[in-house]
Amino acid sequence: MNWAKLLMTDCAAHLRPVNYSDYVENYMPNSIIDSLTKIVGAKSVLNAAAEMAPFLSDWHDRYHGKAHAVVLPATTDEVSQVMAFAESENIVVVPQGGNTGFMGGATPDATGNTILLSLRRMNTIRDIDVQNMSMTVEAGCILQNLHDITEEKGLYFPLNLAAKGSCTIGGNLGTNAGGLNVVRYGSARQLTLGLEVVLMGGKVIDLLGGLRKDNTGYDLKNLFIGSEGTLGIITAATLRLFPLPVARSTAFAEVRDVEAAVTLLHRLQAASGGTVEAFELIPADILHVLFDKFPNIPQPLKTRGAMNVLMEIASTNPASGNVDATGSLPLNQIIEDVLASAFEDGLVIDATIATSDAQRQSLWDVRENAPESHKLSGNVARSDVSLSQSDLAPFYAEMVAGIKEIDPTIWICGYGHLGDGNLHFNLVEGPNSNSDFNEKVPHLYELLYRNVAKYNGSISAEHGIGQTKRDQLASVKSPEIMDTMRAIKTALDPKNLMNPGKIL
Amino acid sequence: MNWAKLLMTDCAAHLRPVNYSDYVENYMPNSIIDSLTKIVGAKSVLNAAAEMAPFLSDWHDRYHGKAHAVVLPATTDEVSQVMAFAESENIVVVPQGGNTGFMGGATPDATGNTILLSLRRMNTIRDIDVQNMSMTVEAGCILQNLHDITEEKGLYFPLNLAAKGSCTIGGNLGTNAGGLNVVRYGSARQLTLGLEVVLMGGKVIDLLGGLRKDNTGYDLKNLFIGSEGTLGIITAATLRLFPLPVARSTAFAEVRDVEAAVTLLHRLQAASGGTVEAFELIPADILHVLFDKFPNIPQPLKTRGAMNVLMEIASTNPASGNVDATGSLPLNQIIEDVLASAFEDGLVIDATIATSDAQRQSLWDVRENAPESHKLSGNVARSDVSLSQSDLAPFYAEMVAGIKEIDPTIWICGYGHLGDGNLHFNLVEGPNSNSDFNEKVPHLYELLYRNVAKYNGSISAEHGIGQTKRDQLASVKSPEIMDTMRAIKTALDPKNLMNPGKIL
Which amino acid, residue B218?
Y
CA distance A52 to chain B (A): 28
Look at strands A242-243 and A276-283 and give their pairing. Answer: unpaired
Is pLDDT at A6 greater than 70 in this prediction? no
Is pLDDT at A11 greater than 60 in this prediction? no
> Do the beta carbons of residue A431 and residue A368 sit within 8 Å?
no
Is pLDDT at A17 greater than 50 in this prediction? no
CA atoms within 13 A on the CB side of A324: 15
Closest by Cβ to A129, choosing from B266, B390, B485: B390
Q: What is the mean pLDDT of residues A216-231?
A: 98
Q: Which among A15-29, B304-318, B327-341 has the top mean pLDDT?
A: B304-318
CA distance A435 to chain B (A): 34
> Do the beta carbons of residue B47 and residue B56 sit within 8 Å?
no
> Do the beta carbons of residue B437 and residue B379 sit within 8 Å?
yes
CB atoms within 10 A of CB A469: 28
Interface test with B, best of A156, A216, A387 (most B CBs within 10 A): A216
Using one digit for the tens of pLDDT, what is the confidence trace for B126-160? 999 999 999 999 999 999 999 999 999 999 999 99
Using one digit for the tens of pLDDT, what is the confidence trace for B33-71? 999 999 999 999 999 999 999 999 999 899 999 999 999
Using one digit for the tens of pLDDT, what is the confidence trace for A391-433? 999 999 999 999 999 999 999 999 999 999 999 999 999 987 7
Using one digit for the tens of pLDDT, what is the confidence trace for A310-331? 999 999 887 776 777 677 778 8
CB contact under 8 A, B421 and A390: no
Count interface pairs A-B at CB distance under 8 A: 295
Is pLDDT at A19 greater than 50 in this prediction? no
Place A490 in a pLDDT band, splitting at 50, 70 and 90: very high
pLDDT given at position A197: 98
- Label residue A401 exposed, middle or buried (CB < 10 Å: 0-12, 13-18, 19+): exposed
CB contact under 8 A, A462 and B417: no
- Search chain A and give the residue with CA nearest B277: A273
Q: What is the mean pLDDT of residues B236-256?
A: 96
B445 dihedral zone (left: phi>0; alpha: psi -120 to 50; beta): alpha
Q: What is the mean pLDDT of residues B383-402?
A: 98
Q: What is the mean pLDDT of residues B248-271?
A: 97
How many Å apart are CA B240 and CA B243, to the nearest integer?
10
Is pLDDT at B78 greater than 90 in this prediction? yes
Is pLDDT at A21 greater than 80 in this prediction? no
Is pLDDT at A23 greater than 70 in this prediction? no
Coil/strand/helix, residue A407 = coil
Using one digit for the tens of pLDDT, what is the confidence trace for A332-347? 999 999 999 999 999 9
Closest by Cβ to A389, choosing from B132, B271, B464: B132
Coil/strand/helix, residue B272 = helix
Go through B59-84 and write b for each residue having 16 or more CB atoms within 10 A of its CB, e for each that does not. Answer: bbebbbbbbbbbbbbbebebbbbbbb
How many Å apart are CA B425 and CA B415, to the nearest integer?
6
How many Å apart are CA B503 and CA B326, to the nearest integer?
56
Q: What is the mean pLDDT of residues B477-494?
A: 98
Using one digit for the tens of pLDDT, what is the confidence trace for B172-210? 999 999 999 999 999 999 999 999 999 999 999 999 999
Q: At what angle do helices A357-368 and A284-293 cross, to 10 degrees?
A: 100
Q: What is the mean pLDDT of residues B318-330?
A: 73
Is pLDDT at B358 greater than 50 in this prediction? yes
How many Å apart are CA B423 and CA B410, to the nearest integer?
17
CA nearest A446: which of A422, A475, A466?
A475
A156 dihedral zone (left: phi>0; alpha: psi -120 to 50; beta): beta
CA distance A251 to chain B (A): 19
pLDDT given at position B318: 75
Domains of chain A listed by start with CATH number: 17-118 (3.30.43.10), 125-243 (3.30.465.10), 247-454 (3.30.70.2190)
Q: What is the mean pLDDT of residues A268-287?
A: 95
How many Å apart are CA A308 and CA A418, to the nearest integer?
11
Is pLDDT at B26 greater than 80 in this prediction? no
Closest by Cβ to B226, choosing from A215, A458, A480: A215
Q: CA angle at residue B33 from B27 to B34, to 5 degrees? A: 140
| Contacting residues of A for B465, CB less than 8 Å apart | 215-217
How many Å apart are CA B242 and CA B156, to the nearest integer?
5
pLDDT given at position A320: 74
Q: What are the backbone angles phi and psi of residue A39, rounded to the nearest 5°?
A: -80, -50
- Search chain B and give the residue with CA nearest A475: B216
How many Å apart are CA A216 and CA B228, to the nearest integer?
10
Is pLDDT at B279 greater than 70 in this prediction? yes
| Contacting residues of A for B181, CB less than 8 Å apart | none
Closest by Cβ to B218, choosing from A205, A218, A485: A485
pLDDT given at position A329: 75
Beta bridge partners of B129: B134
Interface test with B, best of A127, A173, A215, A316 (most B CBs within 10 A): A215
Q: Return mean pLDDT, chain B.
A: 92
pLDDT given at position B433: 78
Q: What is the mean pLDDT of residues B375-388?
A: 94
Place A382 in a pLDDT band, splitting at 50, 70 and 90: very high
Is pLDDT at B25 greater than 70 in this prediction? no
Q: What is the mean pLDDT of residues B364-384?
A: 94
Q: What is the mean pLDDT of residues B83-105?
A: 97
Q: Return mean pLDDT, chain A.
A: 92
Which amino acid, residue B268?
L
Beta bridge partners of B239: B135, B192
CB contact under 8 A, B243 and A266: yes
What is the share, in percent, of chain B residues with pLDDT greater than 90? 88
Is pLDDT at B6 greater than 60 in this prediction? no
Using one digit for the tens of pLDDT, what is the confidence trace for A134-162? 999 999 999 999 999 999 999 999 999 99
DSSP tally for chain B: helices H, then strands E: 17, 21
Place A434 in a pLDDT band, splitting at 50, 70 and 90: confident
How many Å apart are CA B464 and CA B104, to the nearest integer?
10
Q: CA angle at residue A244 from A145 to A368, to 5 degrees? A: 60
Lowest pLDDT segment from A273-282, A450-459, B2-11, B105-114: B2-11
| Contacting residues of B for A334, CB less than 8 Å apart | 317
Is pLDDT at B8 greater than 70 in this prediction? no
| Contacting residues of A for B175, CB less than 8 Å apart | 215
Alpha helices in A369-436 (DSSP H): 370-377, 392-406
Which amino acid, residue B383?
S
Coil/strand/helix, residue A199 = coil
Is pLDDT at B256 greater than 90 in this prediction? yes
- Label residue B498 exposed, middle or buried (CB < 10 Å: 0-12, 13-18, 19+): buried
pLDDT given at position A29: 57
pLDDT given at position A370: 95
Is pLDDT at A217 greater than 50 in this prediction? yes
How many Å apart are CA B325 and CA B329, to the nearest integer?
9
Place B344 in a pLDDT band, splitting at 50, 70 and 90: very high
Using one digit for the tens of pLDDT, what is the confidence trace for B410-461? 999 999 999 999 999 999 999 877 789 999 999 999 999 999 999 999 999 9
Q: What is the ipTM of this complex?
A: 0.93
Look at strands A247-255 and A307-315 and give their pairing. Answer: antiparallel
CA nearest A162: which of A367, A387, A311, A310?
A367
What is the share, in percent, of chain A residues with pLDDT greater than 90? 88
Closest by Cβ to B217, choosing from A337, A463, A477: A477
Q: Which among A99-108, A315-324, B324-333 has the top mean pLDDT?
A: A99-108
pLDDT given at position A205: 98
Lowest pLDDT segment from A90-99, A298-307, B9-18, B357-366: B9-18
**Is the sign of the CA dihedral B243, B247, B248, B249 positive or negative?**
negative
Say which residues have a Cβ less than 8 Å from residue B314's Cβ, sequence separation at least 6: B245, B247, B248, B249, B275, B277, B331
CB contact under 8 A, B211 and A315: no
Using the 8-state DSSP alphabet, how is residue B118 labeled?
Answer: E
Coil/strand/helix, residue A28 = coil
- Higher-pLDDT residue of B6, B76: B76
CA nearest A304: which of A290, A288, A289, A293?
A288
CB contact under 8 A, B503 and A275: no
